[in-house]
Amino acid sequence: MCVNLRSVRNRFDQLAKQIGQEALAPSGTTVAHDEISPETQHADLRHEPDPARGAERARLGLLGRIAAVLCLIEVYGHAPDAEEVRACLRKHLAFWQDRARKARKKQKQETASFVEPFLWIVAAGCPTSVLSGLKLDPAPGWPSGVYFGPELLRTGLVVASELPRDRSTILVRLMAAGPLLAHAIEDLAALPPAAHERAVAQQILLNLKHALGNEPSRTPEEQEFIVIMQDTWENAREIGLNEGRNEGRNEGRVEGRTEGRVEGERAMLLRLLRARFGELPPAAIARVEAADIPVLEQWGERVLSAKNLVDVLDAAG
């Protein structure tokens, strides 16, 4: 997805689209800022699930459940007002009619079933007037904070501030951003290094932090995000170092404090590399196990921004 970070929509709206697209793309067709015909309208995300990729969706927690059927996903970092929700419904109905029209044409040529789309509105805060106006009720069998409207509209609302603060909701809470973002980032950083949610979201968050850090001026919300990222990921790195040092000691590789630190750095770097790039070739493992502290620290700084293993171990500088 190519989006100008200084577009009319704010940066955290782009964050929602990027995380949603990164998370959902492996399980089906996912389009960000999707144009809705016949009018020039754009949905934040459109997802068409591949029935054969249910296992991919299952790894996404609540976001995977949301995306189990053809849907549009609209995200707000606040409680949307009535006009904003009406705009979502206009897109939803236009998309629905367009898909129905195309399905009718296709049915003339071959047997095909029409899947009615669903509209999900993900909001950081609770729009109480919308809940009553659309007669949205808590969804049976779903976490608190999820509401369904009349079946005729096929519309659901996720109030992120009401969701349980657990692993299953992390991706949705990150997308909603707003006042919830700090806790969502903390919860993401607390996951194991190999957690799928980290693979989906952490690089997007770090890219945004880097982009904001290069700006000459920032909003208070943007500055707060930078501080949260610095504090959270620095703490996570320190925890990882301590765990790595302990692993090195438990494996009998420690010969004094210096050797313990080296083994800890090596263990931590190998975990990070596997989390980012999967199983490592023996040659890469051997290089890590032979490296000293300065080299290990240099490689460790590259892990989260590198596109592949070569960028970590062989990049110049």
Q: Where are the domains of the chain?
A: 11-176, 178-317
* Whether pLDDT at 263 is above 50: yes
CB atoms within 10 A of CB 219: 12
Q: What is the structure's pLDDT at 120? A: 96
Return phi, psi of residue 121, to 5°: -110, 115
Q: Which has the closest alpha carbon to 165: 176, 149, 150?
A: 176
- The whole-angstrom separation of Cα 242 and Cα 247 is 9
| Degrees, nearest 5: CA angle 56-124-186 | 65
Interior/surface letters 171-206, b for 16+ CB within 10 angstroms, e for the rest: bbbbbbbbebbbebbebbbebebebbbbbbbbbbbe
Per-residue pLDDT tens over the stretch 73-91:
999 999 999 999 999 999 9
Q: What is the structure's pLDDT at 1? A: 32
Q: What is the structure's pLDDT at 193? A: 80
Please report the DSSP string for 135-174 in residue order. T-EEPTTS-TTEEE--TTT-EEEEEGGGS-SSGGGHHHHH
Per-residue pLDDT tens over the stretch 165-174:
999 999 999 9
* Residue 41, beta-bridge partner list: 36
Per-residue pLDDT tens over the stretch 286-309:
898 888 888 887 887 777 667 788
Give me 70's structure tokens. 């053809």
